[in-house]
Amino acid sequence: MAAISSLDPSPASRAKPSMDQADPSFATTLAHGLDLLAAFRNASGSLSNADLAQHTGLSRPTVSRLTYTLAQLGYLKRDAKGRFELGLGILAAAYPVLSALKVRQLARPLMRDFAAYAGGTVSIAMPLGLDFIYVETLRTTDAVPHVPDVGFTGTLATTAVGRSLLSLYTKDELDAHVARVKAERPEEADYVQTRTLPDIELCKERGFAVSLGEWRREIFGVAAPLYRTPTGDCLSVNCGIPSFRFSAEQIERECGPRILGLARSIRSLVANG
């Protein structure tokens, strides 16, 4: 299966949820500041005010005021060329979220074993809008084509972990997700209808999902849903495996049932932890 790279939007095309900015409770300036920080999600390096204006659609004077403020607060910092990078304030803000996810510590030994078996990267993911975000990741070797870390994001549509997360959604939640894809990422809409939705149903039947080079040609993905938290958050476990290590048939026949077993073991640890 060829990689569907065109369905992985660039930062500039990652549309944000529609907000009624006429709502007096909506803090537009705060939203714009958060938009600036979100622009770094898929940036490969530092960004200038001009880059940020292009990413967000905000005017240069607005961007300049926001970057100055965010830098003063420690959420951004300037590099030697005067461009902006994320500051340590971001990490400090994220710490309470990560530390509250006890599954990260409990699952690590099991994830390490699976990574050694598969020769890939094992991660725990949660939904983030139309994307997923890794909240834990572990690998036993760097000799793989893709080495994501905590905080890495990608589209739900073409990935095994995306399908496994979406399998935990209620019907109303899934309908709302599809409507949002149509509104914000129309380039993904047909793919979601013809490939993602059927694969979600298949994941519900057998307990795991696969993606055979759809997201990146050189990576096979296999994932299994974990659970929903009492507040409704969804978690799944995923393994990205170099395509040369297993055939597509082996991914389906061997890796799928194994990651289903991994998910069951993690759930048991969490229930008894």
pTM metric for this prediction: 0.81
Considering the chain, what percentage of its residues have pLDDT values greater than 90? 71
pLDDT in tens, 162-221: 999 999 999 999 999 999 999 999 999 999 999 999 999 999 999 999 999 888 888 999
Q: What is the pLDDT of residue 253?
A: 95
pLDDT in tens, 63-85: 999 999 999 999 999 999 999 99
Q: What is the pLDDT of residue 8?
A: 47
User: Per-residue confidence at 139, pLDDT binned at 50, 70, 90?
Assistant: confident
Q: Which domains does the chain have, with CATH numbers?
A: 12-94 (1.10.10.10), 101-272 (3.30.450.40)
pLDDT in tens, 87-120: 999 888 888 888 888 999 999 999 999 999 999 9
Q: What is the pLDDT of residue 2?
A: 36
Mean pLDDT calculated for residue range 239-259: 94
Give the chain as a DSSP string. ----GGGS--GGG-PPPP--TTSTT--HHHHHHHHHHHTTTT-SS-B-HHHHHHHH---HHHHHHHHHHHHHTTSEEE-TTS-EEE-HHHHHHHHHHHHT-THHHHHHHHHHHHHHHHTSEEEEEEEETTEEEEEEEEES-S-SS----TT-EEESTTSHHHHHHHTTS-HHHHHHHHHHHHHH-HHHHHHIIIIIHHHHHHHHHHS-EEEESSSSTTEEEEEEEEEE-TT--EEEEEEEEETTTS-HHHIIIIIHHHHHHHHHHHHHHHHH-
Mean pLDDT calculated for residue range 26-42: 90
